[in-house]
Amino acid sequence: MNENQPLDAFLRRLITAPRAKQAEAVQSALALLNGKPPEKMLYTTADCCRLLSISKPSFWRLTKTRAILPVKIPGFGRPRYRHADLLALAGGSKI
């Protein structure tokens, strides 16, 4: 997998996104890339999709190709994802 593929895909989605979502996507991406202290350390799938401005099927493809790895916490049925992993993914590097 090309290491710039997630970033390229993000930029393509950003260009074609409705104007109302572009500002939110840019702010989320800049916050991740600038290493802004995370509001929380672990994110749900929905949070990840919102921060990366991608759909759930696109996010699941990233997890299937192991571009981002889930953290499984006992007692929580659904996986969570680390802030550092999202930062690396937003920066275009494979974890």
What is the rounded average pLDDT for all residues in the chain?
A: 77
Quick check: pTM over 0.85?
A: no
Residue 64 and residue 92 in contact, taking contact as beta carbons nearer than 8 Å: no
Q: Kindly state the average pLDDT of the residues 46-68.
A: 91
Helix 5-16 and helix 83-90: axis angle, to 10°?
Answer: 80
Q: Is the pLDDT of residue 83 over 70?
A: yes
Q: How confident is the model at residue 75 (pLDDT cuts 50, 70, 90)?
A: confident
Q: Is the pLDDT of residue 80 over 50?
A: yes
The whole-number pLDDT of residue 20 equals 65
* Token code pair at residue 93: 């590097």
Neighbours of 84 (CB within 10 A): 12
The whole-number pLDDT of residue 53 equals 87
Domains of the chain: 5-90 (1.10.1660)
d(CA 63, CA 20): 27
